[in-house]
Amino acid sequence: MSKIKDGGSAFPEIIGKKDIKGQFDFYAYGGMTLRDWFAGQALAGICANHNVNGCSDKHQIAKFAYWWADAMLAGREKNPV
């Protein structure tokens, strides 16, 4: 089974820790994935037009939001910023 490409963290928490020389090393971790962020944004648009393609099934709408998110992630790979 292949791992879903999620784009990494959308809003990582930045933590600074001192190394043995007393200088700070910064680490980013956590936060929602970029895929989840894109899906949430797509879902907001879908909900604004609640009769998208005549679909009213909430599970199908959620799948549709992630379909858009995956399309946006694929677009980023083809045209990185």
With respect to residue 4, please indicate whether it lies within any of the assigned structural domains.
no
With respect to residue 6, please indicate whether it lies within any of the assigned structural domains.
no
pLDDT at 80: 65
Q: Are 36 and 10 within 8 A, CB to CB? A: yes
Which residue segment(s) compose the domain that 18 sits in? Answer: 13-78
Q: Model-level pTM?
A: 0.68
Domain count along the chain: 1
- Per-residue model confidence as pLDDT tens for the chain (81 residues): 557 788 888 887 777 777 788 787 777 677 789 999 999 999 999 888 766 656 678 898 899 999 999 999 999 888 766
* Alpha carbon distance 16, 75 (integer Å): 32
With respect to residue 8, please indicate whether it lies within any of the assigned structural domains.
no
With respect to residue 20, please indicate whether it lies within any of the assigned structural domains.
yes
With respect to residue 2, please indicate whether it lies within any of the assigned structural domains.
no
With respect to residue 5, please indicate whether it lies within any of the assigned structural domains.
no
* Alpha carbon distance 9, 62 (integer Å): 20
